[in-house]
Amino acid sequence: MNNIAIGDAMFLLGEAAGRPAQVITLQLFRPPQDADPQEWVTSYFQQLLASDDLKRAFRRRPARRLLSPSTLRWVDDEPVELDHHVRHSALPGQGRVRELLEAVSVQHGVLLDRRRPLWEFHVFEGLEGGRFATAFKTHHAIADGMSLAKHVLGSMSPDPDDRNCTPPWMAGPKRPRKAVVASGGISLAPVLRGATAVKSLIDMGRDESATVPFEAPPSPLNVKVGGARRFAGDQWPLARLKAVANAVGGTVNDVGLAMAGAALRAYLDELGGLPDRSLIAMVPVSVRREGDGIPEGEGNAFGAMLCDLGTNHDDPVARVESILTQTRAAKERFAKMSAAEILAVSKLIMGGAIVSSLTGITALPRHPFNLIISNVPAPNQPLYYNGAQMTDIYPVSMISEAQAMNITLTRYDNTMTFGIVGDRRALPHLQRMLIHLDGALEALEKAVEG
C-alpha cells in the first residue's frame, strides 16, 4: 500500500462529476491483408480478455488511509475483472471517423469507477474501410499523456510479421526502444526548496523574452466547465510543417503552436470573444529520464513553459517568429536549471489552475494561462499490433475548471495530428478549429514562400 504522490493525487482530489480527470489515446487500425476484418477483431478481443498479467499501474485503485482520511493511497485490486475494463462495441451509422470521434467524446465525459483500477480499453469495430479502433482511457492520476503513449506504443512493433505483441496493460519484457515514444531529456532530482523556485520565477520575470504567469486575458476558454466533452481531430502531412519550420529556422512544434494561435484567433473571433491581449498557452515539458526514480509509464512529471500565441494580431510570420524566440529562450532557461527547479517553478505557474481544479472557482483575479497545448511524439514509421497496422493515432487530453479547451499534437508516420478537446456547452462548433488550423498552415506557407 503506497501513498499517492501529491502531484497525482491532485487529479483525484480535483475530480467531480463535471470535471472528469482522464486522458485517452485513440488508435485506428487496418487488419492484416489476409484476414477477415470481423473475425480478426473478434479474435483480438478474446485475446485482450485473456491478458490478465497486469502492470502495477493497471491493477491498483485509490483508497483513503483509515487513520488519515486526507491521505490517498494505492491498493491492489485482486482479481482485476478484465470484462469490466475491456469493452467491445460497434460504431453506429456508416462507421465514419466523425462517428468514432463522437463516440470518444461521449466516453471522455464518463467518470471511471474508483472502486476499480482507473482504466478502460474500448474496441470499436465497423469503421469504414474494414478498419477498427481502440481507445485506451486512463485516469490522469495513473498516467499523463506521455506515459499513456508509452504504454500504447510500447505494445506494438515496427515489424508487420511480429505476432508476439501484447496489450498495453500487460506486464512482461520491454520492447525495443525504437518502438516506444522517447522520454524527455531532463533528469528528475529531489524536490527543491520553495525559495529557489521563487528566485527562478523572479529571474523569468526579468527576461524580456519570457512570457510570465498570471498575465493571461479573460476569454471564453476560462470559464466553468460541465461534464460533457467534444473531441475534434485532423491530420496534416508532416512535410508541410517541416517546410515552414525550415524557412523560419524553427521546429515543427513552433509551427504547430503558430497554427494553434491563428486558429484560436479565428475561432474566438467567430464566437465574439477574442480578447484584445494575446492568449497564453502552457506547454508541458517532459522531465522524465531513466534513473529519475519515477516508474516508467506511471504518474505525472512535467515542467511548464508559457507561450504568447500572438492571437492579438493577424501576421503569420510575426506570430511564428515570436513563438520561435520564446521557445528558444525557454529551452535556454531550462538548460540552466535543475529538473527540480523546473518542477518547482512549474508548480508555482500551475498554482491558479490547481486552485480552480480543486475548488471549482473560475473567477480568479488573473489566470496563469488560457489553455494547455502539448506534444506527444510517436515513431516516424508505421507500427503494427500482431500484423494490424496502426494507421492513425489521436491524442485526447483532459480539460479542467477554467480551462475549457486543450490542444495536443502527435507526430506519427510522417503526419502531424491535432487533437482538440473542449467543453461541449462553453465552446460550440469546436470542429471549426480544424478548418482554421488548415487555413493557418496555408497562410504560413504563402507567407514564407513570398
Going 170 to 121 to 123 to 231, the CA torsion angle's sign is negative
CA 267-269-270 angle, to 5 degrees, is: 65
3-state secondary structure 314-331: CCHHHHHHHHHHHHHHHH
Whether 122 is catalytic = no
**Residue 22: its H or E element:** strand 22-30
Q: Helix, strand, or coil here: 443?
A: helix
Backbone φ, ψ for residue 380 (5° rounding) = -90, 45
R_g over Cα of the chain: 21
Name 200's bridge partners.
Answer: none
Q: How far apart are CA 71 and CA 69, in angstroms?
A: 5
Q: Where are the alpha helices (DSSP H) in 364-431?
A: none
Catalytic residue among 85, 88, 140, 436: 140
Residue among 392, 308, 370, 373 at smallest CA distance from 97:
392
Residue with cell 526548496: 193
Burial class (CB in 10 A: 0-12, 13-18, 19+), 64: exposed
User: Going by DSSP bridges, is the β-strand pair 405-412/415-423 parallel, antiparallel, or unpaired?
Assistant: antiparallel
> In this structure, what C-alpha cell is assigned to residue 275?
480578447
Q: Where are the alpha helices (DSSP H) in 217-281?
A: 238-248, 252-271
Q: How far apart are CA 266 and CA 70, in angstroms?
A: 45
Q: Helix, strand, or coil here: 197?
A: helix
Cα separation values, 15 from 47, 112, 119, 358, 373, Å: 33, 11, 15, 8, 21
Expressed in percent and rounded to 5, the helix, strand and coil fractions of the chain are 35, 25, 40
CB 67 within 8 Å of CB 58:
no
**Residues classed as catalytic:** 140
